[in-house]
Structures are given as C-alpha cells and as structure tokens.
Structure 1
Amino acid sequence: MDNTLAASVAHVTKTYGTGDGTVTALDNVSVGIRRGEFTAIMGPSGSGKSTLMHIMAGLDAPTSGQAFIGDSEITGLNDRDLTLLRRRKAGFIFQAFNLVPTLDVKANILLPFDLDGRRPRPDELHRVQDLVYELGLERRLTHRPHELSGGQQQRVAIARALAAAPELIFADEPTGNLDSRTGRDVLRILREASDTGQSIAMVTHDPVAASFADRVLFLGDGRIVADKPRQTPEEISAHMLRLEQEAAA
C-alpha cells in the first residue's frame, strides 16, 4: 500500500438497486488523497462525488473494490474496529452538522477527546481556543445547538472536526451554510491545516472554495474525468460548465 496516501480507493464500484432499476454511482474508480494535501472533489449533481467521499471515510461500503484509510484496509472491517480507526485518524465536516443536542458548544467541540477517553493536552487546548476565536464562537460556548443559527452550528462542527488535529479531514460542502466572509475564514483554516501536514478531502460545488485546494478531482458519471493541480475559480468554472454540458448532452 502507498504510504504517501491518507485515504484511497482501488477499483471501487458502487451500485444501488437491482435489475433495470440499477444505478451506478461509482464505476471502477481508483484514486488517492495524498498526505498533507488539500484535495477538492467536484462534479455535476449525481456524478458520485459524495458517494466517493463516504466510501473513503468508511461511512458507506462499496459494491466491489477496496477502500483504505492510510495503509489500513477498511472494506470488511467490523463496526467497532472501523469506528476506532475513524476516531483516531479522521475528522468529519458534513452538511448535517451532527451536533449532540444535549451538549453545549464547548462540550461538542471537545467531544473527540471525550470519545477517545482522554483530556486535551495544553497544546491541544490552545489550538481549540484559537479555532473558537477564528470561527467567532467565543460568545457561544455555553449555548446548545438549538440556540444557534445554521451557520453557527456549521462552525461548531468545523471546530470539532479540527480540534484533535486528525491526520485526515473529510468535508462535504463545508461552506454551504455559511455567508461568504465566514466561508472564506473556514477555507483559510482548512488551507492552514493542510499547510501544517493534515490531509483534506472536500466535496464542493463552489469554484471559489475549490480554488483553495492543491488539487481538484472532477467526477462525471461515476468516474474520475480530470485530475488537475491548483486551479483558479475561473478555470474550475469553465471545466464544470463543460462537464454539465456533457452530462446534459
């Protein structure tokens, strides 16, 4: 297994349904997320980008093929071992914030440490304090999720994902519920996390968000159709337009 990859899939196919109703979400995809790199995953609606992320993260299983987090194969792992591996290696930022409603903001952010059965080290507490400040949450620490706006809940989810500095961060439309200024702050924080060695895989439809990444993977009809180095928003928009036109043709 290539130890330069933080996550990867090999010959992964994912289908839903049976017979004439079969839908192929991913079609024999092999690709890796390189360590210390910020990778954006883009494509038209229904191209398979979220399915790819979910399989890489062990949140969904492929119909065939293999998925790895680091050098550990996760296809076929039992739920307990998979949960432990994800907890130690990965952070998640998803559109459904998945905050614990009975916990306040501070407890939600520190949840990764509680689940790992330990207290944060002083340097980790310092990083959490920096995240809280950068994400504008310092006056919200004693609030419960239901007392927050959608954008604030998203920022709490982002702070939680980054709190323990996991090796790998999966982000599904992380700026989707944010105003443009907060969205840029979040992208800058993800960019900085990547610059300090964390690996980031981000699904997005936003060319500006994708332009923060080192690499842009484009999916079309369940396959990788382009793998580009860092792009400008204009270059990304042009490529997405071509993919949309091909999908409609």
Structure 2
Amino acid sequence: MILKATDLSKSFPIENMESQKILSNIQLTIEKGEFVSIMGASGSGKSTLLYTISGMTKPTSGVVEFSGEQLNSLSEDHLTDLRLNKMGFVFQQANLLKNFNLRDNIVLSGYLRKMEPQKTIDKRADTLMKQTGVDHLASKDITQASGGQLQRVSICRALINNPEIIFCDEPTGALNSKSASEIMTLFNEINQTGTTILLVTHDAKVASKTERILFMSDGEIISEKYLGKLAVDSTPRDREKQVSEWLEILGF
C-alpha cells in the first residue's frame, strides 16, 4: 500500500452558508504500482479528492497516509519536500514557465531538490526527453511546441526526481484524440516500470487504459471496477465498451 485515505471529508466555506461538503467519508487504498483512474461528472469531487490525497489541500476531517506518513500531521515545509521528492504532478494544462526553455522547465525541480549533482539531473532530463520524443525541442520555448509536446515535457518534469507516484488531473483534456492516445501509451509505459499513477478523467477511452476505475458522485466513491493491466494482446475497444457500459449503468 502506497496511499490510503480513511474517513476523508472536505468542505469549503461558502458566502452566507456554513460550508459546502465536497468530499464525504472517502475510504480509499492505492497499492504500489497500480494505475488507477477516477471518473465522475463535473462537480463530483474527483479533482478535490486528487488534491486532498496528494497533500495539496488539507482535509476537513479524516486521515491521508502516504508512503508511511500521515500527511495531515506534516508541516507545510515537510509536505513541500514530500511532493518534491516522492510525487509527480501532471495537469490538464502543462503549466510550464514561459521564460524558461523546455529542458530548463524539466530540470528545475531536480535542481531545487539539491540531492544530486546537476550533471546527473541534466543527463536524466536528456534521457527522459529522448524517451518521450521531445529531445529535439530542448532549447525551444513553450510557444514553439504543440499541446501534446508540451504535455510530454510536463510528464518529463513530473518524472525528473523519480517519484513513487504521479497524480494526473485531466492530463489529456486539452489534447486531440491522437495526442491523448500517445500520452496514455506513455503513462502505461511509465506504470510498467513500477511507478504508481492516479489519474482523474471524464473520458471513457482514457479510463479504459487504466487498471482500476473509481466512480464518484456527490463527493463519494459509489463504485469501483477492475479492468486489469493493459496487456499487449488486450483489445482497447472492448475495454472502452466495458467502461461506457459501467458509466451508463451508474447513470453518468
């Protein structure tokens, strides 16, 4: 087990109201090496769940355990170090620094970590960019790459410190179908090396590439389904059809 949430709830203050509950008594366990997706309608709480279990926002109640530590009890500095050293993040938008070239965007987190020589980080960045097919863009800025290429760079950035887990919030949401498929193939390759991935998506095709799917509604996990690892001989259309059928049964 790499991540566990127990009785997790999250509320936000609303003007002229006491609060609005976004998450309600979530029970969740993620095993090391899993590839899990979270699905649900807009407003179901799936992104809030991702941010809360990654320590980006604190729960109102409940406990989050990651890699043997209770995130609730950690100081902000400790949480920052934990995210830098053991977690990677990929969002719908690449969120790259416009005054840095693409390679510098990748190595920055490694330099900030100050645990390895810069030459080691530089070499890893070059390897990651080559593996993801963006090495020819190393000296380019964010205006000189496509959306799919920028997302590949953001994945390299997420991997630069060899994280134990990668949290992804709609990582293919702004991409065309071809780029989205390429990004999911890349995520599966990363997962096969042992990296745990937790991904939020509204897309059945994207979810069908993951191992297990959690379905959310009104701040609760109402169902979960297991698809198994995406094997070389598996049939993507059958997996996608299965996910679509589950969504229909659940009323999504």
Category of TM-score, reference length = shorter chain? 0.7 to 0.9
Q: Contact between 2:85 and 2:161, CA under 8 Å: does it hold in 1?
A: no
Q: Residue in 1 aligned with 2:91?
A: 94
Shifted more, 83-92 versus 156-165: the winner is 156-165
Aligned mate of 2:211, from 201, 214, 238: 214
Q: CA deviation at 1:131?
A: 3.4
Unaligned runs of 5+ in 1: none
Q: 2:239 aligned with 1:243, yes or no?
A: no
Q: Residue in 1 aligned with 2:72?
A: 75
1:187 is matched by which residue type in structure 2? M
Cα distance in structure 1, aligned partners of 2:87 and 2:146? 26
Q: CA deviation at 1:190?
A: 1.3
Query: How does the TM-score come out when normalised to structure 1?
Result: 0.88
Shifted more, 228-237 versus 15-24: the winner is 15-24
Q: Residue in 2 aligned with 1:8?
A: 4
Shifted more, 144-153 versus 67-76: the winner is 144-153
Report matched runs for 1:132-171 at 5 Å. Answer: 132-171=129-168
Cα distance in structure 2, aligned partners of 1:172 and 1:119? 31
Cα distance in structure 1, aligned partners of 2:20 and 2:242? 30
Q: Contact between 1:135 and 1:186, CA under 8 Å: does it hold in 2?
A: no
Cα distance in structure 2, aligned partners of 1:159 and 1:132? 7
Q: CA deviation at 1:20?
A: 4.4
Aligned mate of 1:39, from 36, 39, 42: 36
1:228 is matched by which residue type in structure 2? K
Instruction: Specify the SS of the correspondent of 2:137.
Output: coil
1:237 is matched by which residue type in structure 2? S
* Count of aligned pairs between the two proteins: 240
Question: 1:121 and 1:217, CA in 2 relative to 1: closer, same or farther beyond 3 A?
Answer: farther
Cα distance in structure 2, aligned partners of 1:177 and 1:162? 21
Task: Give deviations 1:162-217, integer Å, cap 9, x for gaps.
Answer: 23321100011111122222222221221122222111000011111111111111
Q: CA deviation at 1:107?
A: 1.0
Q: 2:26 aligned with 1:29, yes or no?
A: yes
Cα distance in structure 1, aligned partners of 2:177 and 2:126? 23
**Identity in percent:** 35
Q: CA deviation at 1:130?
A: 4.5
Q: Contact between 2:107 and 2:122, CA under 8 Å: does it hold in 1?
A: no
- Give me the CA root mean square deviation: 2.1
Instruction: Specify the SS of the correspondent of 1:190.
Output: helix
Shifted more, 191-200 versus 132-141: the winner is 132-141
Aligned mate of 1:175, from 159, 162, 172: 172
2:105 is matched by which residue type in structure 1? N
2:57 is matched by which residue type in structure 1? D
Unaligned runs of 5+ in 2: 229-238
Question: 1:110 and 1:142, CA in 2 relative to 1: closer, same or farther beyond 3 A?
Answer: same
Instruction: Specify the SS of the correspondent of 1:75.
Output: helix
